[in-house]
Structure 1
């Protein structure tokens, strides 16, 4: 009998063993040695955090002027001269307030007439400091939604430490207490809204799974007195969806019940609930539903659309009668269409006016629209050359609030009438630094592909163009979020008054010029955003406003990714970098917390073709030894359940092992905002600006 087959079998086994050993070696080489830092609250990881916090805070807080910056920022944040931001519910204005006495804050209300008098007679409804002490939980107030039309009951949202996951509890404003055995949603990334006093439309984790992004997968109608798990399901999506949310909009004519199913961050379906059943609407998958107003459903287009023998441009706002839409009709009407250098940033409505906030070359203009067979536009006489943001509106009248600010004008609250166009000033923030010494200029840099990128420069009028000015460049460049001129007392007292120059860049990826400006920087085109940033830096240097030795950069979240790419790609341009709550490991970002929801923005690193372009810029994969990187300051929060703190942690550990000097601070609470109380915010500002002065002002 031949032994040949047995010999070949053994040879195959030996070869297989060697192959397995080789594969394990490759996997070991490719394995991330810092992945243990992704265990957010593991004792070993928290010990690492504490050591880095102590080391970095010790250096930065010992810088001259640190205590002065901290005290001034705390004074600003605790100032009683701040605007109490109003939210109109019926005859009352509601406000959440934090100061030295109420560190975690109070939720309060005053009658609208009293509020407008300038000396509101506030009635405290809920003291978050007392609640936190009672429950032994560091509660963070996340908002409240009232029951139309009397607004005697609210759904109050509270987060542990500031994360996105939160609980929802029913609150009675007459008794100033949570309703005993009232509606309660356990901690989740979901929410609820009122259908009527005894019914909620709920999207949450019902105990049988959420999407891969960590968001709700179901929408249910929940009746008072029944268990949440027994609520009536009206729609269920897929685990691979980004998320499913339900929302009830209470209007005088009808309670509209809406479901939005997001298959990605920028696409999905809309459904209306009629007679307990979800009816899918036949619409483009990237259209955005803004509001329902006087029976008209208001949409904004993210792509051009030819429908019913009409052509609507990208970025246009259109409308259709609710019943017509539900019955499959296509008779859409144009509300407003932006131009080449304009965009629409906000849409809201009063009783019978639609308010549209527009940008024209990154400067705000406010319009009122009314519908009588067709849409008619009137400009509201709001201040020019700055940033307008819409505030609360009154659904029982045409009254509304809005804010105006720019780099040198503190935020001012106005009260307006959308039907008459009349406005009146309610209150202005005090100016915390002598703005008359400064001026703002708008320039344009030319990016690598020839695109003109606008940016603002705030500086002393006496600034010399000698390349020696400490300059802080801030940008975001993502998710169609525009970066607009705004007054920052913290930047004024902590940077401008110290001799610094502040720059705000309007990169592609943002929303300054509408959907096309955003879409120009998506996925495989992401490098264009980074090229825009480098181009602004180079333009600042070429104009002799600053030099690479005097140029620092700052960005958070998606802007933290921008900073990470900037200093790894062009370390020759920057001498300081503040990288806050950042994405950095783009190989694993879609596996960490809400990361999977952003694949429409960045791409899917698990698809080889998409990883090919992501890996070229991913900071964590591209940081390497022997480079002249700036001494980066990374910040994050243990309680950030949106962008995983592991991004910043791992980058710090890797750079430290590669021999780079860096700084790191992780706040133990604060969520994605990085801080929960004014003391925490003042400390964060003091650390950031002291670091920048240390690096750019010696």
Structure 2
């Protein structure tokens, strides 16, 4: 266990716990001790109460069993990734709750495709349950990196394992031929527990990039390693050469080697900024003997041969082929020094010269060597609009595929770089071939449609109008399919094949593979798997609406459920769960809901997803509007959606529950304390709630750029307005609250949930508390645990709500 994981004793307290001041009940400091004897006794007492209230009850047990059966179902799509020509998968089920890592060939995977008439044969590589039993550790899978090149390609892997699901993990080198770990004594690579990483550093697997806890002073305030080293096979870890050391106040340091063999080093001064360096082959590094000197420095110390990538700190720069792709979060006018285009700027979508300002949310391309030589002649590949934003991309051997959100619904576009000085070409990624390939796959298949080639559930007009009713004025772009589509390169060094997935709120996922031709058109599509329906979706309608926030901003939300109307055609309110996140530029979108569908929609409930500010649905500006002193906008947006659901007759105040986890837990915590009159229940999971001291609790220091610094009196004045732990009041009635966390969550400290539950109880408010002993920030490590926790959430809501 890294030193960063030890629970402070006691955890530094913020101003509220030192002097509550508002006649709020004191909270014992020992609740901060993650595995303290009194704290765990308190947890066990509350867990026992919750288990007694739910376990053994017919409805809860039926829901739990149904959800566990879905999660363990043998006809789930086995998600795969290719490495060295083979397909790798981690499989969990009732017999392998921790997971079985395995691989197969393309032909064998195809044999299990719909209509193929065969089954896939898997080669087992690592049984995590057997490993955990042998070593006495509850290992949780955190991923693996298979060596793709050289004589050891497909024969060695770096495997990441976490004890109990925490962010802290270890890395071990696995011999895939012999199915055993290669020990350090044999020259094998390993990393002790930390929130770091180990990755291959060369084509032959003879060195690794190590980001690890290397002793005192080597961890950031957020608990992430500050130093990157390159370790060669057979050398002692303490002798590894130093490539980069982050400044003491940075969030940490990271490193990776891209598919073209280039080594990249980066630091995050805060959560939303980064500094990036390219380390050329053979570049001068620093000896291990200078480690303490580097760690003691007040500034970042890169290797002498590292080349800084001079882009805004808020931007993300990624290399692809011989290009540098730059995604902007803020407007950028590159400096006029260096080699610039003497002809000046060109029109949008073309190259631009000196003095050009590129907007936040844009994606730019420039030759990497040209950029390093000083050129700032950029090609604009994407420019945001009021309704669209870029959320990601993937590169194949010859194409760039963009994932764009258009009013919160995904659209894919293929861009192709020119051979010479011609402009890039672009075309929508037409999923018609996928629709045609899956047209005979039964009720879960995709019918061809314009643009996307996919069908959602009933249209939004049907959701609003029923049979004869008037159009709903809150509808957003009615009639278009509400679905999610994704594309990812199979092997971007080799060919132009893409993994493709499609799903909607009511249609299960289809997994296919296809190939882009020279012009970027999709063809040769094979449907490899089609997930079965997991709940009865007959009559379930998905629609998209807008609410109007306090400042007049239009806030979209998705609504999924069976519209109920009385004899006069008026809506009949039903139990409704409103879900939100609203932070860190994370967007929420459409997609199949097997668990929610079975436990909630099938039962007659309605499920709503709010796209509030603070998220990434409309790009960087949408996110920035909810930062720090603007945080109130996130909660006002969410409250506006809650009011709209009541006004439209979807539900009532007492029939509405709000649900969120992590930053979403902070969101619903603010609904609890600021808008308690709007809701009938609160479902709050792995939450931040005490904003006076969140920066001193585990990884909290890394989120200061999102929320603010509670040690600064002016910023604390703002933070205080959205710190649920401090907003509780004596004599005020709060809706019943479910608080869930994990003892092994080393990202958001369980003290947030513990102390909030304690204070609510002291105020005589209804609160149900459960803390899983493992699971990390996901609060569960196995399907059985996930099914139990999910059943608890939906059963609590169903019992509590009274529409």
CA contact (8 A) 1:467 1:547 kept: no
Aligned counterparts of 2:206 and 2:381: Cα–Cα separation in 1: 36
What residue in structure 2 maps to residue 402 of structure 1?
Answer: 500
1:259 corresponds to which of 243, 257, 265: 265
Paired with 2:16 and 2:574, the residues of 1 have a C-alpha distance of 51
State how far apart, in whole Å, the 2-side matches of 1:26 and 1:134 are: 44
Decide which moves more: 31-40 or 298-307: 31-40
Name the CA shift for 1:660/1:394 in 2 (closer, same or farther; >3 Å): same
In structure 1, runs of 5+ residues without a counterpart are: 1-23
8 Å CA contact retained: 1:34, 1:654: no
Checking the alignment, whether the CA contact within 8 Å between 1:537 and 1:573 is kept in structure 2 is yes
Q: CA deviation at 1:575?
A: 0.7
2:272 equivalent to 1:278? no
Q: 1:223 to 1:661 in 2, by over 3 A?
A: same
* Counterpart-to-counterpart distance in 1, 2:361 and 2:108: 40
Q: Is the 8 A contact 2:695 2:704 kept in 1?
A: yes
User: Where in structure 2 are the equivalents of 1:45-60 lying within 5 Å?
Assistant: 45-60=39-54
> Where does residue 288 of structure 1 map in the other structure?
316
Verify: 1:207 aligned to 2:215, yes or no: yes
Greater Cα shift, 667-676 or 221-230: 221-230
- Which of 177, 180, 191 lines up with 2:180 in the alignment? 177
Aligned ranges 1:167-566 → 2 under 5 Å? 167-181=170-184, 182-196=188-202, 197-208=205-216, 209-251=218-260, 255-274=261-280, 275-276=283-284, 277-289=305-317, 291-307=318-334, 308-309=353-354, 310-372=356-418, 373=421, 374-382=423-431, 383=452, 384=454, 385=481, 386-391=483-488, 393-395=490-492, 396-419=494-517, 420-422=521-523, 423-463=525-565, 465-466=570-571, 468-566=573-671
2:157 corresponds to 1:151 = no
Give the equivalent residue in structure 2 for 1:109: 103
> Which stretch of the first structure deviates more once superposed, 658-667 or 383-392?
383-392
TM superposition score normalised by structure 1 = 0.93
Find the aligned partners of 2:78 and 2:489 in 1 and give their Cα distance.
Answer: 12
- Residue 393 of structure 1 and its aligned partner are, at CA, apart by 2.2
1:529 to 1:226, Cα distance in 2 relative to 1, 3 A: same
SS at match of 1:495: helix
C-alpha deviation, 1:73, in angstroms: 0.2
Task: Point out the more displaced range, 541-550 or 688-697.
Answer: 688-697
Deviation at 1:79, TM superposition (A): 0.4
Paired with 1:402 and 1:318, the residues of 2 have a C-alpha distance of 25
Deviation at 1:392, TM superposition (A): 5.3
The Cα of 1:268 is off from its aligned counterpart by: 2.5
Instruction: Report if aligned partners of 1:86, 1:392 keep a CA contact under 8 Å in 2.
Output: no
Q: Deviations over 1:599-648 (max 9, x none)?
A: 11111111111111110120001112211111100000011110111100
1: CA distance, partners of 2:556 / 2:772: 34
For residues 418 and 233 of structure 1, what CA distance do their matches in structure 2 show? 41
Q: 2:83 aligns with which of 82, 86, 89?
A: 89
Q: Distance in 2 between matches of 1:191 and 1:463?
A: 55
- In the alignment of these two chains, the number of paired residues is 671
The CA RMSD measured in Å over matched residues stands at 1.8
Q: Which residue of 1 aligns with 2:717?
A: 612
| Shift of residue 63, structure 1, vs aligned partner | 4.4
1:627 aligns with 2:762: no
SS of equivalent to 1:80: coil
Aligned-pair CA distance for 1:64: 4.3
Secondary structure of the residue that 2:748 maps to in structure 1?
coil
Residues 84-129 of structure 1: per-residue CA shift (max 9 Å, x gap):
0111112111111100111101111111232123232211111000
Q: What is the CA–CA distance in structure 1 between the aligned matches of 2:18 and 2:667, rounded to whole Å?
A: 29
Instruction: Give the superposition deviation at 1:62.
Output: 5.0
Corresponding position of 1:5? none
Mapping of residues 595-606 of structure 1, within 5 Å: 595-606=700-711
Q: Which runs of 5+ in 2 are unaligned?
A: 1-14, 113-118, 285-304, 335-352, 432-451, 455-480
1:567-600 alpha-carbon deviations (Å, 9 max, x no partner): 1101101111110000000001110010010011
Deviations 1:656-697, CA, capped at 9 Å, x for gaps: 111112101100000001101010011001111110111015
Residues 202-229 of structure 1 deviation map (CA, whole Å, 9 limit, x = unaligned): 2121113200011111111111111112
User: Take 1:621 and 1:68, find their aligned partners in 2: how far apart are those partners?
Assistant: 38
User: Which structure has greater strand proportion?
Assistant: 1
